[in-house]
């Protein structure tokens, strides 16, 4: 009987813990832009991509920081709303946008044709090339795409990203490792379980500083003129026009350059 009670207690306890965890919404972060604003606009992101977005403890509070968050704050300000950020795996973001769980998505997202069938994209707010992060000890060996496009080489990319497509296109012979979170891939590379990892250059630069033994291979992958854009629901022209205006203002005033510089410094831990 005693045993039965403890089993029931255990079941109730685990149920409560589960419910509490579900309610605490540890993947939702709020940013009060102005105390007088009463509404929120909600952005979806995947906070695994410093300096664009990554988790950080600020003043004892867990939050998400990054270039995209700073731009989103300006978008919220222009709308007269506070900002809510929902953090998910990268490959869930456009579904959440389409189903209306979030109002817009910022995640260093490249506006591809396939994605543009599902959502509408703003103008590009930040340009970057695609590079291969490798171990520094391999810098002389991995000097070309061909040197890694071999069945013995393991190349990684994020699930649902354009890097996963680039991996299939440029490294068809390599062993592909596709994971949901970029930091997991970077750790595998550092530990020698991967030979290369495709990411945007600013992200690679961050890892070169933050994880010892990593370098950027001396070639770029794919288009030299890629970039990131904000995604909104198809047909949401009002929000899109406002976002494009905010982007244009941030670029022409030089504020965007300042944001990028600050976030690069924040990510380098200085
Ligand atoms: N630019 C790439 C893409 O659009 C990768 C973006 C990854 N972003 C992230 N927050 N993990 O597919």
For residue range 97-133, what is the model confidence (pLDDT) as tens digits? 999 999 999 999 999 999 999 999 999 999 999 999 9
20 or 170, higher pLDDT: 170
Q: Is the pLDDT confidence value at 3 over 90?
A: no
Q: Residue 16 has what pLDDT?
A: 36
Tell me the C-alpha distance between 152 and 130, whole Å.
Answer: 22
Tell me the C-alpha distance between 55 and 65, whole Å.
Answer: 6
Q: C-alpha distances in angstroms, 182 versus 17, 54, 256, 270?
A: 29, 11, 24, 22
Which atom, in ligand 1's list, is nearest to the CA of 182?
11
Q: Residue 42 has what pLDDT?
A: 98
Taking residues 164-192, report their average pLDDT. Answer: 98
Taking residues 227-255, report their average pLDDT. Answer: 98
- Mutation pick for ligand 1 pocket among 85, 96, 114, 163 (CB with most ligand atoms within 8 Å): 163
Tell me the C-alpha distance between 37 and 240, whole Å.
Answer: 21
What's the 21 CA to ligand 1 centre distance in angstroms? 28
Nearest CA to ligand 1 atom 11: 49
What's the 44 CA to ligand 1 centre distance in angstroms? 12
Q: Residue 225 has what pLDDT?
A: 82
pTM: 0.90
Tell me the C-alpha distance between 214 and 196, whole Å.
Answer: 10
What's the 229 CA to ligand 1 centre distance in angstroms? 10
Taking residues 38-48, report their average pLDDT. Answer: 98
Which atom, in ligand 1's list, is nearest to the CA of 115?
4
Which atom, in ligand 1's list, is nearest to the CA of 112?
4
Crossing angle (nearest 10°) for helices 255-267 and 237-252 = 80
What's the 106 CA to ligand 1 centre distance in angstroms? 9
Domains, the chain, in order of start with CATH, read 23-126+227-265 (3.40.190.10), 129-220 (3.40.190.10)
What's the 2 CA to ligand 1 centre distance in angstroms? 53
Q: How confident is the model at residue 226 (pLDDT cuts 50, 70, 90)?
A: confident
User: Among residues of the chain, what percentage have pLDDT more than 70?
Assistant: 90
Output the average pLDDT for the chain. 92
Q: Residue 251 has what pLDDT?
A: 98
Which atom, in ligand 1's list, is nearest to the CA of 162?
12
φ, ψ (nearest 5 deg) of residue 72:
-60, -35
Tell me the C-alpha distance between 91 and 226, whole Å.
Answer: 19
């Amino acid at each position: 009987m005693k045993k039965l009670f403890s089993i029931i207690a255990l079941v109730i306890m685990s149920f409560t813990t589960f419910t509490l965890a579900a309610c605490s919404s540890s993947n939702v972060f709020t940013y009060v832009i102005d105390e007088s604003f009463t509404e929120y606009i909600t952005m979806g992101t995947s906070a695994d991509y410093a300096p664009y977005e990554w988790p950080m403890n600020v003043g004892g509070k867990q939050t998400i920081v990054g270039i995209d968050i700073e731009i989103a704050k300006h978008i919220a300000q222009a709308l007269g709303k506070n900002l809510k950020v929902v953090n998910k795996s990268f490959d869930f973001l456009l579904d959440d946008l389409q189903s209306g769980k979030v109002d817009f998505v910022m995640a260093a997202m490249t506006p591809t044709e396939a994605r543009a069938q599902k959502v509408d994209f703003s103008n590009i707010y930040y340009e970057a090339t695609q590079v291969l992060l490798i171990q520094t000890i391999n810098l002389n060996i991995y000097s070309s795409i061909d040197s890694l496009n071999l069945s013995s080489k393991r190349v990684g990319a994020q699930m649902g990203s354009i890097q996963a497509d680039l991996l299939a296109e440029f490294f068809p012979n390599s062993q592909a490792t596709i994971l949901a979170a970029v930091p997991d891939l970077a750790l595998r590379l550092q530990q020698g379980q991967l030979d290369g990892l495709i990411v945007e250059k600013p992200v690679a630069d961050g890892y070169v500083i933050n994880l010892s033994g990593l370098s950027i291979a001396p070639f770029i992958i794919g288009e030299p003129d890629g970039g990131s854009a904000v995604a909104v629901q198809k047909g949401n022209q009002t929000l899109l026009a406002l976002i494009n205006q905010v982007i244009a203002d941030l670029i022409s005033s030089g504020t965007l350059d300042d944001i990028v510089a600050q976030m690069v410094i924040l990510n380098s831990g200085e």
